Structure 1
């Protein structure tokens, strides 16, 4: 089949499927707990096992798409997703429900394969610009999805959310059947090729920029609710607004990146994006270390985190996929799995730290250390790109 270019909305929807599947049903967890008659810990596995399965599936779906093509893998995962959503809808037993949630985790393939499709069709700065556009459009999904899920649960019950998932999966399957041709170049990859990718240090530097950048965000989301209550006395609604500050920054950064990358280049945006959070978090740490008690320095720091991620992550993703263009699916899957695994570790660490000391300085210190690691990864990208160009 010809390398046909899908509409941008197709790639946005495929990427959105991952986010929607993770957080649109969160407001319904108490109702689901009551329906199944289980504890909070058991119903919480609907989140944890989804993330664990998603981490593993990324390692499978990416390489599989490099071997047999993007189109059959995307169509297959959408079919599985639609069936799994119906299973969740009809489940009367928590075990069957959790098994279906594992199957629903194939949704993660939508995001990693959408990135691979972009790399199939575009090179360098053009790929980074398209990924920035997708990211900026996607920034609203984490804000809207829980709200939609809450409205559905209130109006029709929690099972209506899984009706929506099934309709979305089936609708995307039909849409992609018509809109998404095969974009991968002819020729199958080999495991030897993946081994070669894993030995390229530049690839891991790009992955480090992404994983550590997202890690700062995960740490903030985990620790901030406790700090907001203990240190600032905020309520639930006010805390929600604070948590949205990083998303607002990301929206601005990704939108600016889409416009600037063609002019200034990916490398400069990566460096800028990793420097901005270090500066913002560092300034806030100094403020709180000297006894400051206002909320606004923390808000500025978190806005810098979102802004920096919006600047750097799309360009870093495009760079990682460009190291071995013929293995774009594998590169996307591996980097996504690393981000999830590191995110799980960092959220656990954040929980331990804020449990021991629930202060803005403790939270920001951890965020600053991770942000500094992301900046070091960005400097490694610059050094190794320079060495490759000189060679």
Structure 2
């Protein structure tokens, strides 16, 4: 199945990427992260290390994703999407092998960093391809459907990762990742078209900095980027903090966490489907504001549970389900808005947005990992704060000038 082209977009490629391939491309980071998360408590026991050290395997993964994207974006603007994607997936494959064979937690953390730099190529290039092919409102609609498909992959990740960890050990999770990246590399080599026909002239450091300066001078780009950053920050804080609360504090199993996570993925997918159906009718900015009007109050509900000392999976996962619904409504629209601010720099915009998003995620997961709290209050405070900032960015920064 191929996505129909938007006739209003310049330089539309004769053969757009298939929906399934784009979903797999943008799923590289999410799958690599979420399938691994249920194994974090087990790594502490296996390597006889601290929870903070095991958490670095997640934090440095996010850091690698953040650092890699602003480099990958300009490279794909200069040399094309397809060759950069093939090289990146090869790096992710090598990182998966290193993790699988890791004899120590330090080598595992290094392997996760290598894996991250390669995996983020799929996310950057996938977003840039959508920007190459579609106009602003249509791109938001397409990203909504793509992210709905991504939610299915995200659902499978924690559930399968938890089952593999419980029954076969943490290395089985990296066998799964290795199969995923090898399969995607072969699929990309066989079926991914080139979509970038407006190449930039130079990728010298001066030119790259000039392009980023141009993007950062755009108020709307900054606002859209902040919406994605803060709303996803709440999700990453949840992913970084809840496994400890579920497994170590409440005594639940890793696979139970994975199955509870299905609820989050279902509501996130629902929000993205609504984005796909409604954005072209209601407009990108209106959908953006509806999304933050859903997730911010849900964050306050989670904070209220924490303040009253309620520690139960329902007190964590039900508010997070509403947060995920709001994220599904606002994030594809914010992403499309950011990438469309300058079509010539679609790859650079996707990379810069992703860098800010992931570096923020690395900070939040590091903070949650070092706290190792036995209550949900620090997590709830952090999530409510990030959602409040996302709400302000959507209603103030992203509002059209009159």
Task: Compute the TM-score of the two structures, normalised by the length of structure 1.
Answer: 0.83
User: CA separation of 1:98/1:224 partners in 2, compared to 1, >3 Å: closer, same or farther?
Assistant: closer
Q: Which is worse superposed, 323-332 or 50-59?
A: 50-59
Match of 1:146 in 2: 158
Which position in structure 2 is the counterpart of 1:264? 282
- List aligned pairs for 1:94-243, cutoff 5 A: 97-105=108-116, 106-152=118-164, 158-189=170-201, 190-191=207-208, 192-224=210-242, 235-236=252-253
Q: Is the 8 A contact 2:162 2:257 kept in 1?
A: no
1:373 is aligned to: 389
Cα distance between partner residues in 1 of 2:331 and 2:291: 8
In 2, the alpha carbon distance for the partners of 1:97 and 1:109 equals: 21
Q: Aligned match of 2:49 in 17, 36, 39?
A: 39
SS in 2 for 1:139: helix
**How big is the shift at 1:51?**
2.4
User: Residue 52 of structure 1 aligns with which residue?
Assistant: 63
Conserved? CA contact 2:42–2:170, under 8 Å:
yes
1:221–1:243 CA contact under 8 A, matched in 2: no
Q: Kindly provide the CA deviation profile for residues 227-278 of structure 1, in whole angstroms up to 9, marking residues without a partner as x.
A: 77999x6844766665554333212111111111121111111000011122
**1:370, 1:160 → 2: CA distance?**
34
Instruction: Return closer, same or farther for 1:243/1:9 CA change in 2, 3 Å cut-off.
Output: closer
Deviation at 1:155, TM superposition (A): 6.5
Whether the aligned pair in 1 keeps the contact of 2:31 and 2:157 (CA below 8 Å) is: yes
2:96 is equivalent to residue 85 of structure 1: yes
Q: Secondary structure at the match of 1:187?
A: coil
Cα displacement string for residues 291-342 of structure 1 (whole angstroms, at most 9, x for unaligned residues): 6969767655323211110100000000000011111111111111111221
Q: Is the 8 A contact 2:12 2:132 kept in 1?
A: no
What is the deviation of 1:363? 4.8
Q: Between Structure 1 and Structure 2, how many residues are aligned?
A: 381
Secondary structure at 1:185 match in 2: coil
User: d(CA) in 2 for partners of 1:358 and 1:212?
Assistant: 23
Greater helix share, structure number? 1
Q: Deviations over 1:192-240 (max 9, x none)?
A: 2232112212111001111111112233344556777999x68447666
Seen in structure 2, the aligned counterparts of structure 1 residues 354 and 340 have a Cα distance that, compared at 3 Å, is: same
| Structure 2 Cα separation of the partners of residues 213 and 294 of structure 1 | 23
Structure 1 partner of 2:78: 67
RMSD, aligned α-carbons: 3.5
| 8 Å CA contact 1:128, 1:266 repeated in 2 | yes
The one of 324, 328, 350 aligned to 2:346: 328
Gaps of 5+ in 1: none
Q: Secondary structure at the match of 2:197?
A: coil
Once residues 392 and 341 of structure 2 are traced to their aligned partners in structure 1, the CA distance between those partners, rounded to angstroms, is 19
- Separation (CA, whole Å) in 2 of partners of 1:235 and 1:310: 28
Superposed displacement of residue 148, structure 1: 2.6
Instruction: Tell me if structure 1 keeps the 8 A contact 2:155–2:261.
Output: no
Cα pair distance change 1:159/1:186, threshold 3 Å: same
User: Normalising to structure 2: TM-score of the pair?
Assistant: 0.81
In the other structure, the counterpart of 1:358 is 375
| Cα distance in 2, alignment partners of residues 161 and 51 from structure 1 | 18
2:293 counterpart residue number: 275
Matches within 5 A, 1:243-258: 244-258=262-276
